[in-house]
Amino acid sequence: MESLQPIKRASLHGTVVERLRDLITEGHVPPGEKINEKALCEAYGVSRTPLREALKVLASEGLVTLTPNRGATVAEITERDLDEVFPILMALEGLAGEAACARMSDAAIRQLRVLQDEMEGHYEAGDRAAYFQTNQAIHEAILEGCENQTLIATHRALAGRVRRARYLANMSPARWKQAVEEHAAILWAIEARDGARTAQLLREHLSNKRETLRG
């Protein structure tokens, strides 16, 4: 019975963390931008205490930079950061893909196929925003498939840091086509439950993604 579930009382600081995290990872606040506590407090209608707690958490996630006595800024993403993060994402997604092949239900894999078809539709239509979103959903679904909450959380934190960079990057038509094909191959490997191949393809896919982001 749903009515017997514990009522989720969202704490203010928790809500603020989520709102701010979305704001930053979705790219609505440019990197390097100063975060004014007072202004944000008024915008959200909360006092400085929960806001500052949220900023500390986001700083530990690497989304904001805290400078003593100077407050918070949205963290910048350097080329070096991308060089650091992508090898880790490759390792993590490879690991997740391998586990997902072993653990995902057939139904979950069919759902992945639905997403893939949907994404190919966005590609055909040339809808970059929708493509990007479905792409994101596919990567997350594979991660969910590994059923390792720690891996999911670790990946999410790192992926969040570079999501903005991926938003901004506009792929060439050739690269876009290639990316869709890579995704198709990944899905075949998953449907065949070939863990090693899935891992390998995911790593290559991410490696290529890194190259398209290179400035």
Residues that bind DNA (CB under 7 A): 11-13, 34-38, 46-50, 52, 66-72
Using the rule CB under 8 A, give the single segment among 35-43, 127-135, 142-150, 173-181 that binds a copy of itself: 142-150
Three-state DSSP at 72 gives strand
Residue 81, binding choice from DNA, a copy of itself, none, Cβ under 5 to 8 Å by partner class: a copy of itself
Chain mean position to CA 112: 17
Nearer CB in complex with DNA: 53/194: 53
* Contact of 102 with 152, CB cutoff 8 Å: no
Q: How far apart are CA 54 and CA 43, in angstroms?
A: 15
Residue 34, binding choice from a copy of itself, DNA, none, Cβ under 5 to 8 Å by partner class: DNA
Scored b (16 or more CB within 10 A) or e, 110-122 reads: eebeebbebbbeb
Both structure tokens of 20: 């701010």
* List 27, 44, 56, 118, residue binding a copy of itself (CB under 8 A): 56
Tokens 């997902």, located at residue: 100
Q: How far apart are CA 45 and CA 41, in angstroms?
A: 6
Site for a copy of itself in 82-101 (CB under 8 A): 84-85, 87-88, 91-92, 94-95, 99
Using the rule CB under 8 A, give the single segment among 34-42, 56-64, 112-120, 127-135 that binds a copy of itself: 56-64
Residue 41 as a binder of a copy of itself (CB under 8 A): the answer is no
Residue 38, binding choice from a copy of itself, DNA, none, Cβ under 5 to 8 Å by partner class: DNA
Residue 195 as a binder of a copy of itself (CB under 8 A): the answer is no
Give every CB contact of residue 211 below 8 A, 6+ residues apart in sequence: none
Q: How far apart are CA 142 and CA 72, in angstroms?
A: 34
CB 128 to a copy of itself: min, Å: 28
The neighbour count for residue 36, using CB atoms within 10 Å, is 12
CB 54 to DNA: min, Å: 10
# chain residues binding a copy of itself, by CB under 8 A: 32
Kindly report the backbone phi and psi dihedral angles of residue 65, in degrees, each rounded to the nearest multiple of 5, phi listed first.
-110, 130
> Which parts of this chain interact with a copy of itself (CB under 8 A)?
9, 11, 13, 49, 52-54, 56-57, 59-62, 68-69, 81, 84-85, 87-88, 91-92, 94-95, 99, 148-151, 153-154, 158
